[in-house]
Amino acid sequence: MTTRPNIIFIITDQQRFDTIAALGNDHMDTPHMDRLVNEGVSFDNCFITAASCAPARASLFTGYYPHTTGIFKNADSWKRSWIEKLSDTGYRCVNVGKMHSYPYHTPLGFHERYVVENKDRYLEERYFFDEWDKALKARGLVKQQRESYRKRADYKDALGAFDWELPEDMHPDMFVGDTATWWLNSYPKTEPLFLQIGFPGPHPPYDPTKRFSEPYLKKDLPLMEVSQEELDGLPEPLKGLRQHNNEVDHDSVVLDLEPSREQRHRQRAHYLANVSMIDEKVGEILTTLERQGYLENGIVIFTSDHGDCLTDHGHSQKWTMYDLVTRVPMVVWAPNIYKGGRSIEGLCQHMDIGPAILEMAGIEVPHTFEAQSILPAIQGKDWTPREYVYAEQIKDGILTETEFMSMIRNEEWKLVHFLHMKCGQLFNLKDDPDEVVNLWDEPAASGVKQKLLDQLREWHIESQVHTHDWAAEWR
């Protein structure tokens, strides 16, 4: 390659792995995401490093685990990223949409930021007015959010699923997609370009327009059965999480502890419809990139920051370590550069795309990175998958009944550890891929449990040694 590639990094918020038709989900209508998968390289066992937005994204854009960055929860200060290396070496770096840095407007290395954050900000910076807020004001519109939804008679039963009743182009995902295409059409073409597009959806409220929700409401959608036996066997912190999400309406979602199948289906339909709404905008972005010449030497990367239980396992949103939360789509599409139509089964961490991006741009990867480049796999070369992947989550305003939660997973087993507590989770993923049967207290599984606990300890020690001078330039 004689010139540095344009890199377009599209990130959705809270999109499960099982929401793209081409990844084996026939109930989905996602033709443009399907194109990325069918013509690109899909990492089918990609796992995030934290079970909430900001720490997962901070890992992604720094190359370090949350316990290294110190960014454990939303609103923890996050002001630096490897995007600075791109901008320092000649890339035009632009962000349209969500990043979830904090403060929200932190440059992070971008030359331009068109910030659109959570649809329903509440816990922090409730009165931060982003580009979408300003656009709504300019149109004389009042944003649909928690204050208005709480007035609805069906609020507690809706599980966060509502219809978008304002003009469709003012839906946050439409707004972000349209702003991205506007920028591509308006700004003089520069090479190389790093463009990060952050869609706020399908994070709740699950609020697509009826044009997208009505077809899904008519479909038979997959819903995981949740037994009383599974709920009774949950570790105490996760029982507390269920109760908390029933009592507190985070993101306009009230978790019904015994939702009906109709409630669950309606929520699922609205969530999946929001994915299809984003898919339409992804198609428009691809068309615009091609028309403006960015794809002649361009790489499009598509992923999300974590998933959503959607009442599966009896839980709402994230803050758990089920694969429904920790496993996300990761697709690299560059037909003119990398051979497509391939899926990679080996384990990788979500943040492993970071050093790959730096290498694509011809930038040396810092030796302290805990992220391990997946570029060899993208190129079709020999690549060694990770033996284990990890995720972390600290006590915050939602996960209130444990000080710290850690996950370790390999191809066959998953263990979830709660600091200073005797309870935990242990799943045999070969026999129990849905993670329903908790073997934590099973004597027959004690050997595997101890092995994973030992590896979790070794990982923390190795991490401290490997990253001891990661912040040396700021000391």
Query: 437: which residues sit within 8 A by CB, 6+ positions away?
Result: 427, 428, 431
Quick one: pLDDT at residue 1? 41
Q: Encode pLDDT of 270-315 as tens digits.
A: 999 999 999 999 999 999 999 999 999 999 999 999 999 999 999 9
pTM of the model: 0.97
Burial (Cβ within 10 Å: 0-12, 13-18, ≥19) of residue 140: exposed
Contact (CB, 8 A) for 355 and 375: yes
Q: What is the pLDDT of residues 114-136, one digit of tens each?
A: 999 867 776 677 778 899 999 99
Using an 8 Å Cβ cutoff, are 277 and 169 in contact? no
- At which residue do the structure tokens 């700021």 appear? 474
pLDDT at 122: 66
Given a cut of 70, the residues of the chain with pLDDT beneath it are 1-2, 118, 122-123
- Which residues neighbour 324 within 8 Å (Cβ) at sequence distance 6 or greater? 16, 18, 307, 308, 309, 310, 312, 313
Beta-strand pair 342-344/330-333: unpaired
